[in-house]
Structure 1
Amino acid sequence: MNKFSYIRATSVNDAVQRAMADQQALFIAGGTNLVDRMKVFLDQPSQLIDISRLQMRRIQDTTAGGLRIGALVSNTAVADHPTVRQNYPVLSRAILSGASQQIRNVASVGGNLLQRTRCPYYYDTAFPCNKRQPGSGCPAVTGMNRMHAIFGASDQCVAVHPSDMCVALAALDAVVEVEGTNGRRQIPFTEFHRLPGDTPQRDTTLEPGELITAVVLPPVPFAQSGVYLKLRDRASYSFALVSVAAMVNIAADSIIEARLALGGVAHKPWRPQEAETFLRGKPANAETFQEAADMALQAAQPLVDNGFKVELAKRAIRRSLILSAKGGNVA
């Protein structure tokens, strides 16, 4: 690691002001991803601003009937919270599939949103990488790209976002609350993470100095049908080849509304909204779900080694929708 200073923030405003004063500083809470990156010199901050003792550890009901989750709430606390398990089971299931108990105990909600790709070329400094050094190249485009993106990639970057929790939050239409020098603002979750484009070094739409303070879940009456299906090389806390968060609202065997989000396929959680639109008013049966799955993958652009993800994603979507139509029972 490089030499860096350490300071403990006394308030959200103090943390923001310190980050603005030193553009090379980074916030640290649980540190489950940041410390790993520092160990291999991917991040070399001049200063670590410890926010772990700030008052952002509460889970509260909102006046709208949803839930506000503080940025420092641990992944374990979210997954185990009775309201989350009852009203937003897709979120609990996604978190539980994402990491070991030890990691979930210290990993924070805000940190989960900010974790970076696990692309091996990004982590191996012997290779060029546009995320580490813009303009140096992306060896994954023509190299080993089995784990990489089939949606939204560019010739600058084909990496995928690693989070499971974020896939569920995208399906739930969550909102990210952030605090900066211009005050507080809210970012719709589907707009929080970025596609790589020509600036793959930027993962989010956060402005300099901004700090995530909370994630807000809106009321989603049919979220109790939520299913999270994760397909991976091994069952023991491996990153997703493809994952699906699915929820359907059904009345008289007809689909009123549906939500879908995919993980492991893009630089951000991927919402196939054209498939969601197609499902409205359709009969809730396997044939409809297969058509929706085919539609969701129409725009896929697989690379040399990851074409299998197209069929895998279709099958995962179909399976998730069937399970959700049965009330979300994954047993």
Structure 2
Amino acid sequence: MKEFGYQRVFDVPGAVALLGADPEARCLGGGTNLVDLMKAGVERPGLLVDVRELPLDGIEFTKGGGLRIGATVTNSDLAAHPEVRRHYPALAQAVLAGASGQLRNMATVGGNLLQRTRCGYFTDLARPCNKRTPGSGCSAIEGEHHNHAILGASSHCVAVHPSDMAVALAAFDAVVHYETADGPGELPFAEFYLPVGDTPHRETALPSGALITGITLPPLPVAATSRYRKVRERASYAFAIGSVAAALDVRDGIVNDVRLALGAVASRPWRALAAERVLTGGPAGAEAFAAAADAELAAAEVLPHNGYKVTLMRNLVVALLTELAEEAAR
């Protein structure tokens, strides 16, 4: 491991000053991903800025009736918060599905957003990886890729984003707030993660030296009737091979509002806008749900060993929306 400096900070201006002064500085929250990558030699920061003591660990209502979630809120506290469970249950379910209790106790909301892919070639320094070393190539395309992207990938990278929490945030139109030396800023979640394109090493639209300070969720009545469903290869905690965050408002058998996001299918959480357009204003039934899933997955581009994800995701979308529709009809 490369030698690095360490500085604990207690206020946002101090953290921003350190991050802005050193391009090799990284924020240290729970360290559940960053420290592992440092041990593997993938991340080589010159300075770790410990942000755990920043006053960003609250969850509170916004003036409009949404929620503001601080960047240092732990995953455990987020999943257990009564207002999150009441108003955005799929978010709480996604966090609980994401890791063991020990990891949730350490991991932070801000760190969760910035975690890196779990593609094996990304952490294997002996193999080419455009995300790790731009221009070196993508080993997964001709190698092991059964859990890799079917949507939005490119010839430069087919890795998937690992976060469960981010899938629910994508469905609920979250906004990421940050602070830089030039002042505060915000990014709608749809713009936070960059398309993979030919620059897979550039993962977010955060400015250089930015510190994530929190996330806001808008007041969204449909989110109160939401669920998160994750499929993994073993019963114990593992990264998804497919997941869905869904919220559904049905009135008199017609879809009044719907939110849908897919996980483990792209380099970023995938908002299923095509599926939402098909469903909105139409009947709430298995046939319509399948048609919506097909509309979203029509753009899928599969590799030799990950084509099963198309069928998996279709079935997962239909099953979860059916559950929500049946619940609404009771």
Q: TM-score, normalised by structure 2?
A: 0.98
Q: Per-residue deviation at 1:10?
A: 3.1
Structure 1 Cα separation of the partners of residues 50 and 31 of structure 2? 10
Please, which moves more after superposition, 189-198 or 28-37?
189-198
Please give the alpha-carbon distance, in whole angstroms, between the structure 2 residues aligned to 1:4 and 1:327.
53
Partner of 1:158: 158
Q: Could you say which residue in structure 2 is the equivalent of 1:176?
A: 176
Per-residue CA deviation, residues 39-59 of structure 1 (Å, 9 max, x unaligned), is: 011011111111110100000
Residue aligning to 1:121: 121
The answer as to 2:33 corresponding to 1:59 is no
Give the distance between the partners of 1:318 and 1:191, measured in 2 at CA.
27
CA contact (8 A) 1:224 1:328 kept: no
Residues 227 and 328 of structure 1 are in contact (CA less than 8 Å); yes or no, is this contact kept in structure 2? Answer: no
Match of 2:201 in 1: 201
Q: Is residue 246–residue 321 contact of structure 1 (8 Å, CA) maintained in 2?
A: yes
Residues 222 and 258 in structure 2, CA contact (< 8 A), matched pair in contact too? no
2:12 counterpart residue number: 12
- Evaluate the alpha carbon distance shift between residue 225 and residue 38 of structure 1 in structure 2; reply closer, same or farther with a 3 A threshold: same
CA distance in 2, matches of 1:280, 1:152: 24
For 1:148, the equivalent position in structure 2 comes to 148
Match of 1:236 in 2: 236
1:263 Cα deviation (Å)? 0.3
Segments ≥4 residues shifted beyond 4 Å: none
Q: What pairs up with 1:66-77 in 2 under 5 angstroms?
A: 66-77=66-77
Give the secondary structure class of the aligned counterpart of 1:262: strand
Shift of 1:179: 0.6
* Counterpart contact for 1:193–1:205, Cα < 8 Å: yes
After superposition, residues 161-310 of structure 1 pair within 5 angstroms as 161-310=161-310
Q: Deviations over 1:88-144 (max 9, x none)?
A: 100000000000000000100000000000000001111111111111110111111
Amino acid at match of 1:278: V
Q: Which amino acid in structure 2 is aligned with residue 112 of structure 1? A: N
- Per the TM alignment, residue 30 of structure 1 is displaced from its structure 2 partner at its CA by 0.6
Shift of 1:328: 7.8
Matches of 1:263 and 1:236 in 2, distance apart?
A: 18
Does structure 2 conserve the Cα–Cα contact (< 8 Å) formed by 1:245 and 1:262?
A: yes
Maintained 8 Å contact 2:10/2:55? no
1:254-273 Cα offsets, whole Å, 9 max, x none, are 10111110000000000120
Tell me how far apart the structure 1 counterparts of residues 162 and 185 of structure 2 sit (CA, whole Å): 25
Q: What is the alpha-carbon distance in structure 2 between the residues aligned to residue 117 and residue 312 of structure 1?
A: 21
Give, in whole Å, the separation in 2 of the partners of 1:233 and 1:70. Answer: 32
Aligned counterparts of 1:284 and 1:304: Cα–Cα separation in 2: 34
Equivalents in 1 of 2:116, 2:307: separation in Å? 23
Q: What's the counterpart of residue 111 of structure 1?
A: 111
Deviation readout 1:32-81 (Å, 9 max, x if unpaired): 10000000110111111111101000001111101000000000001000
Q: Secondary structure at the match of 1:120?
A: coil
> In the aligned structure 2, how far is the partner of 1:284 from the partner of 1:225?
14
**In 2, distance between residues paired with 1:65 and 1:328?**
23
1:139-167 Cα deviation digits (max 9, x unpaired): 11111110100011111111000000000
Structure 2: any 5+ residue segments left out of the alignment? none
Letter matched to residue 159 of structure 1:
A
**Counterpart contact for 2:151–2:266, Cα < 8 Å:** yes
Rounded Cα–Cα distance in structure 2 between residues aligned with 1:228 and 1:328? 16
CA contact (8 A) 1:224 1:327 kept: no
Distance apart, 1:186 and its partner CA: 1.4
> CA RMSD of the aligned region, Å?
1.1
CA distance in structure 1 between the partners assigned to 2:281 and 2:44 by the alignment:
52
For the residues of structure 2 that align with 1:153 and 1:316, how far apart are their CA atoms?
21
Match of 1:116, SS state, is coil
Q: Which amino acid aligns with 2:287?
A: E
For structure 1, the residue ranges without an aligned partner over 5 or more in a row are: none
- State the Cα deviation string for residues 264-310 of structure 1 (Å, max 9, x = none): 00000001201101111111111111111111110000111100000
The residue identity in structure 2 corresponding to 1:44 is R
**TM-score under structure 1 length normalisation:** 0.98
Contact conserved, 2:249 with 2:328, CA < 8 A, in 1?
A: no
